[in-house]
Amino acid sequence: MNRRTFLTTTAGASLAAASGAAQSPSMNQTVASHNTSLSLGVATYSLRDFYRHKALLMLKELQPMGVVNVNVKDFHLPMTDSPNQLKFGVKAFSDAGFKIVAGGNVSMQKEEQLRPAFEYARNCGFPVIVCIPTPDTLPKVEELVKEFNIPVAIHNHGPEEKNFQSPYDVLKAIQKRDPRVGMCIDVGHTTRTGVDVVQAIADAGPRLLNMHVKDLANNKDRDSQVECGRGIMPFRAIFAQLIKQGYKGSVDLEYEIHAEDPLPGMRESFAYMRGVLDGMKS
């Protein structure tokens, strides 16, 4: 165990205990109780430096912490694969004990990307596509949502994004569209726009179809990401609001730092989030 692994592992345990996780008789009981409130998962973009086989081995190390849901990035189910290859890849996730709850982020910036994206999602069996269209492509995206009966969750991308910086930019664009045209709130990007992330979740209501969570040390700096619980993100308030409004989607960790060795930080992040949920129950 190297120094970083030791520090992040022990820190995660301490944070979880402080939040109440130590009160649970067993991790299995803790995980089972959480599944009745909020469901935590992983955006596999977190493991973007690893091919699918290795990524699955790493994900399995998180299963004792209740990680079952995955939001699959196309690094791990390539859009260039044939339908049979995609079927094989999806089976690899299932055989490893994971439930694919979404696919993405999928680019829908150009007209020629749209139908292939939905055909890809259909071949993979994605329940929802996390995507980022443009105002120009959005009408066609809505048509394809109706044709394929696959919901989309538009991902807000913070100040750097031209069209959909905050959840409110998404809400404005979709409020009169088919209810299957929804949103994926990224709490980090949302915070950097100066928006109250908890209020944005409340205002999203049933349009909220997926969540990406991360933590930041600085609410203006995208490069200040830290392990969940070490920064400024109000996780308890976020979780409380999601539970209050009966959110049934997945809350997916998108861990974008330490790409070459992400597991220690991912473990710490899940330990903290589990601890917060356990503390709320207590």
Q: What is the pLDDT of residue 257?
A: 98
The mean pLDDT of 130-157, rounded to a whole number, is 97
The mean pLDDT of 244-257, rounded to a whole number, is 97
For residue range 62-83, what is the model confidence (pLDDT) as tens digits?
999 999 999 999 999 999 999 9
Question: What whole-number distance in Å separates Cα of residue 248 and Cα of residue 209?
Answer: 8
Q: How confident is the model at residue 135 (pLDDT cuts 50, 70, 90)?
A: very high
Residue 281 pLDDT exceeds 90: no
**Helical residues (DSSP H) of 35-151, grouped into ranges:** 52-60, 83-95, 111-124, 138-148
The mean pLDDT of 193-202, rounded to a whole number, is 98
Q: Where are the domains of the chain?
A: 41-281
Q: How confident is the model at residue 29 (pLDDT cuts 50, 70, 90)?
A: very low
pTM of the model: 0.87
Q: 252 vs 33, 59, 104, 130, CA distance in Å?
A: 18, 13, 12, 12
Beta strand pairing call for 39-43 and 69-72 = parallel
Q: What is the pLDDT of residue 13?
A: 44
Asked if the peptide bond before residue 105 counts as cis, ω within 30 degrees of 0, the response is: yes
What CA dihedral angle connects 119, 121, 124 and 125, to 10 degrees? -110
Longest dimension (CA), the chain: 53
Residue 273 pLDDT exceeds 90: yes
Q: Could you tell me the two tokens for 161?
A: 């994004």
For residue range 164-188, what is the model confidence (pLDDT) as tens digits?
999 999 999 999 999 999 999 999 9
Q: What is the pLDDT of residue 15?
A: 44
CATH of 41-281, one of 3.20.20.150, 3.40.50.1100, 3.30.540.10, 3.30.365.10: 3.20.20.150
Q: Is 184 helix (H, G, I), strand (E, B) or coil?
A: strand
Q: What is the pLDDT of residue 99?
A: 98
> What average pLDDT does the chain have?
90
Question: What whole-number distance in Å separates Cα of residue 190 and Cα of residue 66?
Answer: 26
Q: What is the pLDDT of residue 36?
A: 53
The mean pLDDT of 121-128, rounded to a whole number, is 98
